[in-house]
Structure 1
Amino acid sequence: MQNLLRKSVYSQFNPPYQQCNICCEEVSTHDLMSITTKCNHKICRACINRYINKQLNEKGNVKIECFVNRCNFLMGYEDMKRVASKDLFERYEYLSFREAIRQMPDFRWCHNQKCGSGQEHLEREISPIMICIACGKINCFTHDVIWHAGRTCTEYEVEKNTIDGATRAAIERDTKTCPRCGIRIYKYGEKVFLILR
């Protein structure tokens, strides 16, 4: 009887351990969690959070799938709330909100890198010029870029279809100007690349 009592007390304060299928570390069974409620693939909390961090912060992906054995069930809002750290969950909510807004056909983000605001532009059929209500920067609704000064949308489209124009459009779309030196930069994850023309 005394041995059973000792085992009961021992197991209560020393939970059983199991190996995580990703990092191969022995972790408490309390730290093994299913990635989604739709599947039973259990991974340690640290591995799940590393995976979520990579998807959100390096890839900007909010549609996060279970990656065990190519399961591909999507993590839902409640799954994310259950397994993600507080910081990752806040990042997920922020990116999910931006993704939902981006789906609105009349919505555009301001391309002033210091602004970060966006708005609906209901006059898109009448005028492609969209003036940001937060900072006053002029954007082109049609091409989703800073306004192409000195050119109409048609002229911009023709220029964009040349090799030089396509290169310039890609640089303007995918890079930002460094606030210190003015050189165009491209950020991928934690790495920053200089764009030299």
Structure 2
Amino acid sequence: MSNPQRAVCTACLEDKPLADFPGTTLTRNCAHPSSLCLECVTSYINSQIQGTTPEHTRCPECEEQLDYDAIRLFANPELFNLSQRLAIDSLISKQPSFVWCPLGCGTGQVHPSGADQPLVYCLRCGRHFCFRHRAAWHSDYTCDEYDAFLANTRGFRSRAQIRREEDRAGERAYRRYRQQLDKAEARIAQSLLRTAKAKEARRRAKQRRREEERRRQAEERARRDEERRAREALEIQARIKEEERKTNRFLMSCPHCGIPNVKISGW
């Protein structure tokens, strides 16, 4: 005798309590109660929404399309969120200005300016790509130049590349000019240094000559002073002798005691 509180799942064929079944139809349009247990319903919906959008998910028994609430109620939350993102992307991708990132991050976005301003910044991976060519951004080329490059990958050069080559040539020429200028400045500096050294040598020689002249003059003054002092000494000695001579005319020594005496008169 069957138990009214239990039922057999038509998917897994297990006898389970009625509490393990949805207890109502999966969609508003289903004309039958669900004969699948909750576990099988969840497993079925997860397999349906994995990698697709919700509009492709239908009742496993009558093919009626499952609505948003039913999918959200029974599906795995992560798979449900992924399904919602896919649904949003599917809706947005129908717009002409929508573009998928070609760099592998798996997301898309609306680029309102479209091909008129083809540089796109991916909000997911943070890289740039071309709206027109659906490829990584060709920074050296405009879109027309990139088409020409694809047609002639070896011989074509863009305006940016030509400008860069010209800039490099200009930089090389400027470096050569700077080297020549530096060498010329070094020669001038050496010449100025030699001139400064020669000038300093002349200044020192002149200073030595002045010092030598001052020393010679000082020696000459000392010699003249010495000669003057010697003449003065000789003159003093001569005056003393003269005074002595004059004095001796009036002095006579006593023949008895030898003491000099002044001669007053007589012989």
- TM-score between both structures, scaled by the size of structure 1: 0.55
1:138 matched to which residue of 2?
A: 128
What one-letter code is carried by the residue in structure 1 that aligns with 2:42? N
Q: Is it true that 1:124 corresponds to 2:124 in the alignment?
A: no
Q: Is it true that 1:62 corresponds to 2:51 in the alignment?
A: no
Separation (CA, whole Å) in 1 of partners of 2:79 and 2:123: 30
- Residues 54 and 157 from structure 1, CA distance in 2 versus in 1: closer, same or farther, beyond 3 angstroms? farther
Separation (CA, whole Å) in 1 of partners of 2:75 and 2:4: 22
Of residues 98, 103, 123 in structure 2, which corresponds to 1:107?
98
Which of the pair has more CA radius of gyration? 2
Shift of 1:106: 1.7
- Residues 140 and 41 from structure 1, CA distance in 2 versus in 1: closer, same or farther, beyond 3 angstroms? farther
Shift of 1:88: 3.8
> Deviation per CA, 1:6-41, whole angstroms, max 9, x where unpaired?
xxxxxxxx9811111111111222222233232025
What one-letter code is carried by the residue in structure 2 that aligns with 1:56? I
For this pair of structures, how many residues does the alignment match? 140
- Residues 110 and 45 from structure 1, CA distance in 2 versus in 1: closer, same or farther, beyond 3 angstroms? same
Separation (CA, whole Å) in 2 of partners of 1:76 and 1:67: 13
Separation (CA, whole Å) in 2 of partners of 1:41 and 1:157: 61
Of residues 69, 73, 81 in structure 2, which corresponds to 1:82?
73
- What are the equivalent positions in structure 2 for 1:112-191 lying under 5 Å apart? 112-113=103-104, 115=105, 118-133=108-123, 135-142=125-132, 145-147=134-136
Structure 1 runs of 4+ with >4 Å offset: 133-136, 148-158
SS at match of 2:114: coil
Separation (CA, whole Å) in 2 of partners of 1:134 and 1:89: 20
Q: Is it true that 1:26 corresponds to 2:15 in the alignment?
A: yes
1:16 matched to which residue of 2?
A: 5
Separation (CA, whole Å) in 2 of partners of 1:61 and 1:116: 15
Separation (CA, whole Å) in 2 of partners of 1:73 and 1:49: 16
> Deviation per CA, 1:74-125, whole angstroms, max 9, x where unpaired?
1111111232344443333333333333333322232333x55543212224
8 Å contact from structure 1 (residues 128, 141) kept in 2: yes
8 Å contact from structure 2 (residues 5, 18) kept in 1: yes
- Residues 108 and 41 from structure 1, CA distance in 2 versus in 1: closer, same or farther, beyond 3 angstroms? farther
- Larger % of helix: which? 2
> Deviation per CA, 1:101-154, whole angstroms, max 9, x where unpaired?
3333322232333x55543212224244433355453334346x3248578586
- Residues 99 and 148 from structure 1, CA distance in 2 versus in 1: closer, same or farther, beyond 3 angstroms? same
Task: Provide the alpha-carbon RMSD of the alignment.
Answer: 3.4
8 Å contact from structure 1 (residues 15, 28) kept in 2: no
Q: Which runs of 5+ in 1 are unaligned?
A: 1-13, 159-197
* Percent identity for Structure 1 against Structure 2: 27
